[in-house]
Amino acid sequence: GAARPRLTFLGCGYLGATYAICYAELGYEVIGYDVDVAKIENLSRGEVPFHEPGLDELLRRNVASGRLRFTTSIEETADFGDVHFICVGTPQRSDGMGADLRYVEASVTDLAKNLSRRALIVGKSTVPVGTAEWVERLVEKHTSEELGVEVAWSPEFLQEGFAVEDVLRPNRIVVGVKTEWSNALLYAAHKGVFDLASTEDREVPVVVTDFATAELVKVAANAFLATKISFINAMAEVCEVAGGDVTQLAKAIGYDPRIGNRFLQAGVGFGGGCLPKDIRAFQARAQELGAGEALRFLHEVDLINLRRRARVLHLAAELLDRRQGPAGPDLAGARVAVLGATFKPNSDDVRDAPALAVAGMLHEAGADVRVYDPQGIDNARKAHPELTFEKSLQEAVAEADLVCVLTEWAEFRNADPAALAAIVGKRLVIDGRNCLDASAWSAAGWTYRGLGRP
Ligand code: UDX
């Protein structure tokens, strides 16, 4: 019943697995469903198939308690749940712009066909606005009207590396609903989050709205974050020609609470499975709806972001005293250590990672590139088999003519510049995340170059 609805999460990728595990932890009975047999076997054994701090322990505890199980059976899933969350991927279409909804379509259709009792289907995947209405029509097509199955939308905002916190202690919950029944059931499905907040003397704000707004909230939030990062990276470009220091500029504007200091870190730009893909899909959808002009600036946001990668290449050529040909710099014979492969620290995710993209560009330019990353090597090797990967920071840096720090892992921030100076070929460092102590590196004899700094 609605007091403690039983929950299912369809799609046990990053989003679905994290939610399934965390909601079991909140006390719900949960099923995680996926078509991928290996993924389901791993999760059932208590193994999280990706790197996320704190999640392994929660998985084991909740599988052991019996509150959480994983299955590839859609019949079992359909039979079990009062509320079904759709958490499947919405990758970038092969045309490079819009979102591919085939997994949403497949999971909703399979689920709907197998439902034999009333249930609520809640979309969580990031989708183009209008998808919820389309899902509702899909459900109507595949279920009988007497069953009374309904659809709602509830976007998520979790950040990799903080996913457990973000799910258990979200800074808001947004629901797009059409009826009191679905609103009440979705409230019950979120009640564990509200209860946890009240024991900690917090409140989780809830925005109850229509489908379109709920869908837009997610892409608007990501567009804003991407814009904020590209804004400061645009200021970095100006600083580079004007002789300013973007890190001080960011600090100074960030003291204004209307601006705020978060997401103002200038560097090699944003990557990952969300921001780059979401801003492109958002533009494509706005275009389809006839509001393309409104989001034209997101194209600039994207271009600024990509220009930062090229900037690292040019800095490398400058430091190594190489010629800039028409096709870019020639780095033949230069040995370059690339520190970082993931799109951000505390993650093993290399999707659209600026670090790995730059490593690829350095390789293209002829450099002998040695990549090291504390967590991302396995994934990076699959994406860029042409690169050389090293097992340690020291091995990557040994004999290097240039060191590029492109993901701000603590291991790199805390590295001793004097010790590294002793093993490199040339003491040249590009700090692509402005995360190193510039004066300490300079004092150890390094020529230090940050992005957007003199
Ligand atoms: C993002 C959103 O933050 C999250 O709310 C949404 O649900 C999914 O997308 P995530 O992809 O995990 O989360 O990464 P995030 O921490 O936002 O970082 C995105 C990228 O921006 C990273 O490559 C990061 O290095 C870069 N970044 C972030 C900057 O370059 N500068 C900053 O100041 C902040």
Give the domain CATH number at 31: 3.40.50.720
Distance CA 130, CA 21 (A): 29
Provide CB contacts within 8 A for 439, sequence distance 6+: none
| Residue 339 · residue 305 · CB < 8 Å | no
Does residue 226 lie within any of the structural domains? Answer: yes
343 and 204 share one domain: no
For the complex shown, is ipTM > 0.95? yes
133 and 17 share one domain: yes
Sign of CA dihedral 409, 411, 416, 419: negative
188 and 219 share one domain: no
pLDDT value for 211: 98
Domain final position from 158, 192, 208: 208
Closest among 100, 112, 91, 123 to 19, alpha carbons compared: 123
One-letter identity of residue 102: R
Closest among 387, 159, 364, 14 to 373, alpha carbons compared: 387
364 and 326 share one domain: yes
Residue 2 has pLDDT above 70, yes or no: no
Residue 97 has pLDDT above 80, yes or no: no
24 and 52 share one domain: yes
Condensed to tens digits (0 to 9), the pLDDT of residues 233-248 reads 999 999 999 999 999 9
72 and 216 share one domain: no
Condensed to tens digits (0 to 9), the pLDDT of residues 283-303 reads 999 999 999 999 999 999 999
CA 280 to chain CA mean position, Å: 15
Give the burial class of 365: count Cβ atoms within 10 A of its Cβ; 0-12 exposed, 13-18 middle, 19 or more buried: buried
Share of the chain above pLDDT 90, in %: 95
76 and 170 share one domain: yes
Give the active site residue among 22, 274, 404, 435: 274
pLDDT value for 1: 42
150 and 195 share one domain: yes
Catalytic-residue membership of 274: yes
Ligand 1 atom 17 nearest Cα: 159
| Residue 260 · residue 249 · CB < 8 Å | no
Tokens of 136: 């509702």
Domain final position from 189, 208, 227: 208
Mean pLDDT rounded to a whole number for the chain: 96
Domain final position from 159, 186, 208: 208
Condensed to tens digits (0 to 9), the pLDDT of residues 311-323 reads 999 999 999 999 8
271 CB less than 6 Å from ligand 1?
Answer: yes
Domain that holds residue 217: 210-454
Does residue 453 lie within any of the structural domains? Answer: yes
70 and 28 share one domain: yes
Condensed to tens digits (0 to 9), the pLDDT of residues 136-191 reads 999 999 999 999 999 999 999 999 999 999 999 999 999 999 999 999 999 999 99
Condensed to tens digits (0 to 9), the pLDDT of residues 16-37 reads 999 999 999 999 999 999 999 9
pLDDT value for 46: 96
pLDDT value for 218: 96
Distance CA 272, CA 342 (A): 8
Dihedral pair phi/psi, residue 389, rounded to 5°? -115, 140
312 CB less than 6 Å from ligand 1?
Answer: no
Secondary structure class of 328 (helix, strand, coil):
strand
Q: What is the mean pLDDT of residues 100-112?
A: 97
49 and 65 share one domain: yes
Does residue 108 lie within any of the structural domains? Answer: yes
Q: Which atom of ligand 1 is nearest to the CA of 126?
A: 7
Does residue 2 lie within any of the structural domains? Answer: no
Condensed to tens digits (0 to 9), the pLDDT of residues 30-66 reads 999 999 999 999 999 999 999 899 999 999 999 999 9
The residue whose CB lies within 8 Å of the most ligand 1 atoms, and thus the one to mutate among 126, 159, 262, is 159
Count of domains observed in the chain = 2
Q: What is the mean pLDDT of residues 189-202?
A: 98
255 and 197 share one domain: no
187 and 237 share one domain: no
CA 140 to chain CA mean position, Å: 33
The residue whose CB lies within 8 Å of the most ligand 1 atoms, and thus the one to mutate among 162, 174, 229, 235, is 229
Does residue 1 lie within any of the structural domains? Answer: no
DSSP 238: H
* 93 alpha carbon – ligand 1 mean position (Å): 21
| Residue 335 · residue 367 · CB < 8 Å | yes
Residue 200 has pLDDT above 80, yes or no: yes
Residue 325 has pLDDT above 90, yes or no: no
